[in-house]
Each structure stands twice: as structure tokens, then as C-alpha cells.
Amino acid sequence: EIESILFQSFRWLQREIMARTKPMKVLKLKGKSSGEARAKKVAMLTASSVSVARLAKVALRTANAARAMKAQPMKRTRVSTSTKTKKSTKRKAMKTAMKKVMKSLAARKPRGSKIARGSMAKVLVFRGKKVKTSGGMTADMLMINKRGRVVSKKKHALGVHFFCRISTWVDAVLEARKQLNIVGFVPINGKTLAGRSLYVKSRAIYAARRAQSVMEALQLD
């Protein structure tokens, strides 16, 4: 900052000197005698020299003031002990509060719902990890079927009851497929020859088994 002040002051002095000495170079006094012109020039030179001297004094004063400012040491702003203690107490209070919060969070037990939801709800209840499903089924209401899936006991019993009505036809179709050596999907009684033959064979086996079951029932009576 001090160097910039000195530089600006000297630049200002240079501009002022140039501005004051420039008119003397281009001075032309026409229509006057040589004595009057000489007197006019002398007066202007003396005025300009006086003004330049004044400007030089001003520049010297500014330079001295800048040097004095540079010589003075910079004062450091000290923070009072009261503010330091306040900051330290605030930090300590914040640390203690954070410790309390962390302890309370660690002491809390994770809250878990006792109701199982989703596709694995029955499995979780059957294994004992949950109390019941969203529908209200507990572990004693569930079972594992022959395919290894956890199902409801009531639904399983209902399915077995209804499957008994078509079990004879299903067995007849399986026997017919085995006798005709059919592998893969074949629509029964469809447009293909294999499907029609499968249907005819299944009907024959089904009729024979139905007659056999009727005869057995009559013999028991």
C-alpha cells in the first residue's frame, strides 16, 4: 500500500509539472514589443517555478508520511480471554450433548414389526421369526405340502377335497400318455391325431376304472 501511495504521488507531481510547463513552450506573443514579451515570459516562468516548488514540497510530505507509516509496527488484534473461554465452554457442551445422544441411540432396541408381510410372510411365521401374517395366520395354522411349500392347513384340506373329484380322470390321462408314449405338451382332443387318440384312450381307461370302483362298492354292500 505504501509503495502504491508513493507511486501515485510522484505520478501526480509529474502530470502537474508537464501541465504547467507545456504552455511556455508553445507561447507566442504577437503584436507586442520585445520588451513586453520578455517581461511576460519571465513572469510566467517565475509563477511556474513557484508552483512546481510547492508541488515538490507536497510530494515530499506524502513520501515522508508513507515512510513513517511503514516504520511503525502493525498492531495485532488480540482476542480476549473471556471470548476464548466462552467458545471452549460451548464446544464442551456440544460434545457432551452429542455423547448423550449417541448413548441413547445405542441403548435403543431396534423396533421390529411382529406381523409378516410379503411373499415370504408364511415362511417367516412358520420358522418363528414373526408372530403372524397380515391375514392373521399363526405358525400352528401352517404346514409344508409335498412340494415343500408352506401353505395354510385349511386351504390344503380344501384342495385335497376338491382334487378327489378329478383324481380318477387325472390318473386315466397319465396312464394313456404312458401307453401311447406321448412326451411333452399335447392338447387332449385337439386338432392333432395324437391329441384325439389320447382323449379316446383316456376315456376308455376312465370308464373301466369307474366301473371297477362301482363293482367294488357293490361288493362291499
Which tens digits make up the pLDDT trace of 72-108? 555 555 555 666 676 778 788 888 888 877 777 677 6
Enumerate the β-bridge partners of residue 116.
133
CA distance 48 to 19: 10
CA distance 189 to 201: 10
Angle, alpha carbons 105-111-115 (nearest 5°): 175
Q: What's the pLDDT at 18?
A: 61
Q: What's the pLDDT at 30?
A: 46
CA distance 176 to 204: 9
The answer, yes or no, to whether residue 152 has pLDDT greater than 80, is: yes
Enumerate the β-bridge partners of residue 152.
142
Residue 151: phi and psi, rounded to 5, are: -130, 170
Which amino acid is located at 121 in the chain?
Answer: A
Q: What's the pLDDT at 82?
A: 64
Per residue in 16-41, pLDDT tens?
666 655 444 444 444 444 555 544 44
Angle between helices 2-25 and 34-71 (to 10 degrees): 180
pLDDT band at 183 (very low <50, low <70, confident <90, very high): very high
The proportion of the chain whose per-residue pLDDT surpasses 90, expressed as a percent, equals 40
Q: What's the pLDDT at 85?
A: 74
Residues in the chain: 221
The answer, yes or no, to whether residue 170 has pLDDT greater than 80, is: yes
Q: What's the pLDDT at 23?
A: 47
- Contact (CB, 8 A) for 153 and 142: yes
CA dihedral 16, 21, 23, 26 (to 10 degrees): -140
CA distance 56 to 41: 22
Higher pLDDT, 218 or 61: 218
Query: How is residue 31 written as a grid cell?
Result: 503584436
Q: What's the pLDDT at 32?
A: 46
Mean pLDDT of 175-184: 94
- Contact (CB, 8 A) for 43 and 23: no
Mean pLDDT of 181-185: 92
Q: What's the pLDDT at 22?
A: 45
Mean pLDDT of 159-167: 92
- Contact (CB, 8 A) for 136 and 154: no
The answer, yes or no, to whether residue 14 has pLDDT greater than 90, is: no
Per residue in 41-74, pLDDT tens?
444 544 455 455 555 566 666 666 666 665 655 5
